[in-house]
Structure 1
């Protein structure tokens, strides 16, 4: 009884092992699906879309459960996740501008 009270008083939170095993199993299934994309020889946009979708799902599970972000305060989650998201948006905008510049140069200089 005292051990349970100590765990509550110390602020330390323990999660059931079942949660970690289920997430580990789901990561295994998602990895299997990712490999099956290559096995069934999907091509083009479908292939890359599936691979990226499975990659993002696995990364999200790892960050949420194994890095304990699912149980953190929302302000901390925003502080950690928003800067990389902003960088990805800016990189995407730069890639669009770079493509436009390349096509313009190809049109006028060749």
Structure 2
């Protein structure tokens, strides 16, 4: 099945796409930037830099962190971060619905792996 992947290049130069949104969802699922990065096959540093960028590109932070101690640190999506994920996924679903007929027509004329 064909997937729609959206990437937004905002007028101020910031970008939002599937990788950043997936990372936010992984932070929600794992409660940790490090664990979210591992789940996506990226380094903690890369994950942290992406979260830091997201936290600075919007008017409110999308993730809050708690310093580690014996049990390690924690990260949580803010209500605003949840809104960003929800809106991105809604746009993705609307785009897929609007493009379904044209995508089906394109898929119908694709070569198969056996061709």
Question: Of Structure 1 and Structure 2, which has the larger fraction of its residues in helix?
Answer: 1
The structure richer in strand per residue is 2
Same fold (TM over 0.5): no
Between the two structures, name the one with larger relative contact order (CA 8 Å, sep ≥ 6).
Answer: 2
Higher CA-based Rg:
1
Using structure 2 for the length normalisation, give the TM-score. 0.28
Q: When the two structures are superposed, what TM-score results if normalisation uses the length of structure 1?
A: 0.29
